[in-house]
A and B are shown apart, each in its own frame.
Chain A
Amino acid sequence: MSSIRFEQVGHSFGDRTVLRNINLSLTEHRIGIVGANGSGKSTLVRMINGLVAPTTGTVTVDDQNVARHAREVRRRVGFIFTNPDNQIVMPTVQEDVAFTLRRRGLTAAQIAERTVAALEQFGLREHADHPAHRLSGGQKQLLALAAVLVAEPATIVADEPTTLLDARNARRIGELLQTLSQQVIVVTHHLQLIEDFDRVIVIEAGEVVADGAPTPSLATYRALVQ
């Protein structure tokens, strides 16, 4: 598991403060993050991958400052976006998964072997040569997961990975995230997805308002949004 630390982290867009004074140490296997729209939860997780830089404070992954060592950190932290369409780069399913392994010093045979294994794991083997943009929404999100996991990151950060999916596909993605051996950090509005996670953090107006076991944290969140 990676050790992710937020120390005195704050973030502002112009005059608008999105996050303030965040101090967190994320070491658990499965961590859920919930909050209302605009609460700052997506900004928070984007900092783990260096997609957003903190205005104040520091974010470290395994003692490496993300702002200074973004490239190294990104090799250990995979990121899944809400809309898988934005994550697909190559025309076919197999090529998109293999694309992640570019510039990693692997031979063509090693890339092919790892790609096939990732496609098998996510039930996409039979779609290997299909156009990626013509997959269903659920399959596209599976492809996004496969394309990230093929690089064997230590941590997976998923920003609302089930928001655009129907109930069945959302459940499938949720089940897959549960089975991963990697550290998983999920931002979601689907509360059942994180009910048996190790830890749930609630963000409200840029601050952590609850942090702990899922049951009390989710109770706080439900009270906040009612």
Chain B
Amino acid sequence: MIGLYSPGTSWIHRAPTLLKLSLLSLCVVTIGLSPNLVIVGAAAVLVVVLFVVARVPVRSAVAQIAPILLILLIAVPIQGLLSGWLIAALMASRLLVAVALAALFTLTTTVTAVLEAFEKLLHPFRRFIDADRVGLLVALTIRCIPLVADIVREVLEARTARGTQGSLLSVAVPVVVRSLYAADALGEALIARGLDD
């Protein structure tokens, strides 16, 4: 979602966001509760077909799914030794399918569409919740991930350039201070763009 949207015109791209979100939730819960490896395997095939239909570049898809493979590399042997290899395989395939489905949603849905969906979803509760504000909060949360990642990278680079290793505190303090400054500047920019109400 942090700029991972893969532009396209497939029906998956065009499908209503709330429908995609509902189907995603339903599928993840169903797969999570399914005790049958065959059903999960069939779901995996379906997910691959959906990726092909959406014409998501292979590199983008792999980039989304690869991190979970690293976790599974550690989790599967442990699960296999403790609970049996069938359960380990079931756990791994469930996780893979769930992550792949979430990735498909991310790759085919813009943040704007997600915000609009949030606003629609929260519309019945408008007397209690400002849906627009919640949408803005979600957008800012997503935006802040690369912003903080950049700050961490710059602090680590500065530490390396000065030839110091230091403790975790020597990274955490400048990261927190700079993040607060960045948050202040972002808030000021939002005010300047007329989003202070």
Binding site for B on A (CB under 8 A): 49-51, 70-71, 74-75, 78-79, 81, 83, 85-92, 95, 98-100, 102-103, 129-134, 147-148, 151
A13 to B173, CA, bound (A): 26
Name the residue of chain A whose CB is nearest to the CB of B191. Answer: A51
Whether B193 and A100, one on each chain, are in contact in the complex, defined by CB atoms closer than 8 angstroms, is yes
Taking A51-B192, A95-B110, A151-B194 as contacts, is the C-beta distance between A89 and B143 under 8 angstroms?
Answer: yes
> B111 and A102: CB pair below 8 A?
no
Which residues of A have CB within 8 Å of B194?
A: 71, 74-75, 100, 151
Separation of A92 and B143 alpha carbons in the complex (Å): 10
18 contacts across the A-B interface (CB closer than 8 A):
A50-B191, A51-B188, A74-B191, A89-B143, A89-B186, A90-B112, A91-B1, A91-B2, A92-B5, A95-B111, A98-B112, A99-B139, A100-B193, A103-B132, A131-B2, A132-B3, A133-B143, A134-B3
- Are A79 and B2 within 8 A (Cβ)? no
Which listed residue, A71, A91, A130, touches B143 by the CB 8 Å rule? A91
Contact B5 A91, beta carbon cutoff 8 Å:
yes
User: Binary interface profile of B, 100-114, with partner A (CB < 8 Å = 1, else 0)?
Assistant: 000000000011100
Count of A-B residue pairs with CB < 8 Å = 92
Given A71-B196, A129-B7, A148-B193, A92-B185 contact (CB < 8 Å): no
B residues near A (Cβ < 8 Å) are: 1-5, 7, 110-112, 132, 139-140, 142-143, 146-147, 150, 182, 185-186, 188-197
Q: Which of A81, A87, A91 gathers the greatest number of chain B CB atoms within 10 Å? A: A91
Q: Are the C-beta atoms of B146 and A133 separated by less than 8 Å?
A: yes
Q: Give the top 3 A-B pairs by smallest Cβ distance, nearest first.
A: A131-B3, A86-B185, A79-B192
Q: Are B112 and A81 touching (Cβ within 8 A)?
A: no
Which residue of chain A lies nearest to B197 when distances are taken between CB atoms in the complex?
A: A71
How many Å lie between the Cα of A147 and that of B193 in the bound state? 9
Residues of B within 8 A of A79 (CB): 189, 192-193
* In the bound complex, CA of A99 to CA of B192 (Å): 13
The chain B residue with its CB closest to the CB of A129 is B7
Nearest-neighbour CB distance to chain B for A179, whole angstroms, equals 22
Q: Which of chain B's residues have a CB closer than 8 A to the CB of A75?
A: 194
CA distance A129 to B147 in the complex (A): 19
Nearest B-chain residue to A88, judged by Cβ: B143
Contacts of A130 in B (CB 8 A): 3
Q: A51–B147 Cα gap in the complex (Å)?
A: 22
- From B7, which residue of chain A is reached at the shortest CB distance? A129
Determine if B139 and A89 form an interchain contact, defined as CB atoms under 8 angstroms apart: yes
Point out the residue from B3, B7, B132, B193 that lies within 8 Å of A91, measured CB to CB. B3
A88 CA to B189 CA, complexed, in Å: 8
Q: Which residues of A contact B4 (CB under 8 A)?
A: 91, 131
In whole angstroms, how far apart are the Cα atoms of A129 and B60 in the complex? 14
Contacts of B140 in A (CB 8 A): 89
CB-defined contacts of A49 to chain B, threshold 8 Å: 192
In the bound complex, CA of A134 to CA of B110 (Å): 17
A81: which B residues are within 8 A, CB to CB? 185, 188-189, 192
In the bound complex, CA of A176 to CA of B40 (Å): 56
Q: Is the CB of B147 within 8 A of A133?
A: yes
- A134→B146 CA distance, assembly (Å): 9
Residues in chain A near residue B139, CB distance under 8 A: 89-90, 99
Q: Distance in Å from the Cβ of B118 to the closest Cβ of chain A?
A: 13
Q: Which of A50, A95, A98 is most buried by chain B, counting CB atoms within 10 A of its CB?
A: A95
Which residues of chain B are near A98, meaning CB under 8 Å?
112
Q: B1 CB to closest chain A CB, in angstroms?
A: 7
A95-B110, A131-B3 given; 11 more Cβ-contact pairs under 8 Å: A71-B197, A74-B193, A75-B194, A79-B193, A81-B192, A83-B185, A89-B190, A91-B5, A98-B112, A100-B193, A129-B5
- With a CB–CB cut-off of 8 A, which chain B residues contact A132? 3
Provide the bound-state CA to CA distance between A129 and B182, in Å: 24
Q: Could you tell me the distance between the alpha carbons of A154 and B188 in the complex, rounded to whole angstroms?
A: 20
